[in-house]
Amino acid sequence: MPRMTYRANLLPQSTKRSISRLFHSSKPTPNLVSDSVNTNNNLDSPIIFPITRFRKTKKLVQISSIALLSLPAQSLTTMHMDINTQIPAYDKVMLQRTLTIAAVPGDSTYFATDGFQHGFGYDLVRGYADELEVSIDLKAYASDEAALRALQSGAVDMALTTASTQLRNELALPSINISCGYDSSLTNNGLNPKVSWAFRQSNDPLSQKASYFLCDSVKLDSTQNLAAFYNQKLLKDNYSQQHFQQTLIEKLPVYQTSFINQAKNYDHDWELLVAMGYQESHLNADAVSPTGVRGLMMLTNSTAKAMGVADRVDPMQSIGGGARYLEQMKSDFADVPKTDRIWFALAAYNMGPNAIKGIQQQLTANGIDDKNWANIYAYLAKNQASNSRYGQAMQYVSNIRSYLEIMKLQPA
């Protein structure tokens, strides 16, 4: 069972007065599908995440033909709340400068075990909150139904779920499929095509803006790249699984204390260092590559010297050198939000920090957020044919993410 810990942070019961000037979109509004879910749950404790920013987006021509379509007619007359007196969620979000979401942990929504927080659906929500220039207050629920009922009650502003069609119809909450109809972009990467955002009202600017945000042509490309990064099919074949598990059983016990101690020295997650060691050398202290990198963490000679490593094949020194170098990479990207910083640091560990900073400069020159991992990954994907190092960096970071998730989900 996953080791999950959540900290309660319930919204206050009182609601603020509606602001006098309401947002009215000048663009035609795509209708939203009714979305819901199933379960029994008493876990309504949250995890808190910060974020920021909003730009206007163009709606795709195909929005009218994809499965965002209409809210069931009965929901217009059987809303659980009086829409004539209810404050629009958008107004509340902008007043409080916080987007409160209900979510259920999962490989297509978000991963939050042992303090390691990220995920496909969650990263997209972070992007939306960034556009709105608000922070995120994420509340974790044990089931989709519990998350959606929290949305119905007004305890949250939106819900991130993978609800079944049957359960969606039961609760009659409007929702947007994250893929905007391009389900294959998710299923090809082992992600759930039903992952969606649900709202209380289809005509609320919060849901309308979400439609434009998700279904913009540029955003769709970014979503597909993000789905590739969170590919759940990596390491799922029997050989890869067996080799990884066998290595952890046979080799990790020899080095585990060193990984734990060095992680403490540099405030790292020790299992992250293990995942890096497996990616680098399969935890082989005597490993040597054709390019001359050596040891368990496969340090170059110059990096080893810079990190004070005298003997690269000494496991303790190699792990210590790798931990110090990773800390340096994290420091080099200290201006990147913490939720994305580890991916930047890992890519820099593999390619060198100057290579990543060069990509950042390219993104900035094109008006693209250079501190968002999804944008870095998209750049690597787009240009990997002309630079093989880009493809290697993509694989490096994605594999380490997969190894780490596998370890986090194993029984303690």
pLDDT higher at 230 or 27 = 230
pLDDT of residue 69: 30
Residues 6 or more apart whose CB falls under 8 angstroms from that of 249 comprise none
**Spatial separation of the C-alpha atoms in residues 394 and 228, rounded to whole Å:** 10
pLDDT of residue 113: 78
Least confident range of 8-22, 104-118, 144-158, 280-294: 8-22
Residues 6 or more apart whose CB falls under 8 angstroms from that of 134 comprise 51, 52, 93, 94, 96, 97, 98, 99
pLDDT category, 26, cuts 50, 70, 90? very low
Alpha helices by DSSP H, listed for 266-365, are: 270-281, 301-306, 315-332, 338-351, 353-365
Closest CA to 296 of 309, 283, 307, 306: 283
Least confident range of 66-75, 225-234, 282-291: 66-75
pLDDT of residue 239: 85
Looking at the predicted structure, is the pLDDT value of residue 51 above 60?
A: no
- Cα–Cα–Cα angle for 174, 175, 177, rounded to 5 degrees: 155
Active site residue 131: no
Token pair listed for 271: 């299992």
Least confident range of 105-114, 129-138, 153-162: 105-114
pTM above 0.85, yes or no: no
By the 8 A CB rule, do 40 and 143 touch?
Answer: yes
The three-state secondary structure class of 156 is coil
Other beta carbons less than 10 A from residue 310's beta carbon: 9
DSSP state of 294: B
Q: Which CATH class is domain 33-229?
A: alpha beta
pLDDT of residue 168: 76
Share of the chain above pLDDT 70, in %: 79
pLDDT category, 35, cuts 50, 70, 90? very low
By the 8 A CB rule, do 379 and 363 touch?
Answer: yes
pLDDT category, 5, cuts 50, 70, 90? very low
Is 367 exposed, middle or buried, given 0-12, 13-18 or 19+ CB atoms closer than 10 A?
Answer: exposed
What's the full length of the chain, in residues?
412
Looking at the predicted structure, is the pLDDT value of residue 39 above 90?
A: no
pLDDT 10s digits, 397-406 = 999 999 999 9
How much is the average pLDDT of 202-209?
95
Looking at the predicted structure, is the pLDDT value of residue 40 above 60?
A: no
pLDDT category, 14, cuts 50, 70, 90? very low
pLDDT of residue 172: 86
pLDDT of residue 412: 62
The three-state secondary structure class of 13 is coil
pLDDT 10s digits, 251-274 = 999 999 999 999 999 999 999 999
Q: What is the DSSP string of 169-215?
A: HHHTEEEEETTTT-THHHHTTT--TT-EEE-S-TTSHHHHHHHHHHH
Q: Average model confidence (pLDDT) for the chain?
A: 82
Closest CA to 193 of 121, 105, 119, 143: 121
pLDDT 10s digits, 72-94 = 333 333 344 444 346 899 999 99
Catalytic residue among 170, 280, 327, 405: 280
Looking at the predicted structure, is the pLDDT value of residue 290 above 90?
A: no
Are 33-229 and 238-408 equal in CATH topology?
no
Looking at the predicted structure, is the pLDDT value of residue 396 above 90?
A: yes
Q: Which CATH class is domain 238-408?
A: mainly alpha
How much is the average pLDDT of 337-347?
94
**Spatial separation of the C-alpha atoms in residues 167 and 279, rounded to whole Å:** 41
C-alpha count within 13 angstroms, C-beta hemisphere, residue 7: 6
Share of the chain above pLDDT 90, in %: 67
By the 8 A CB rule, do 147 and 136 touch?
Answer: no
pLDDT of residue 364: 97
**Spatial separation of the C-alpha atoms in residues 158 and 341, rounded to whole Å:** 26
Closest CA to 206 of 395, 20, 23: 23
Looking at the predicted structure, is the pLDDT value of residue 54 above 90?
A: no
The three-state secondary structure class of 99 is strand
**Domain boundaries, given as residue ranges, for the chain:** 33-229, 238-408
Is 98 exposed, middle or buried, given 0-12, 13-18 or 19+ CB atoms closer than 10 A?
Answer: buried
pLDDT 10s digits, 351-375 = 999 999 999 999 999 999 999 999 9
How much is the average pLDDT of 384-391?
94
pLDDT of residue 384: 94
The torsion angles phi and psi of 280, rounded to 5 degrees, stand at -75, -45
pLDDT higher at 92 or 2 = 92
pLDDT of residue 67: 34
* 133 φ/ψ sector (left φ>0, alpha ψ -120 to 50, else beta): left
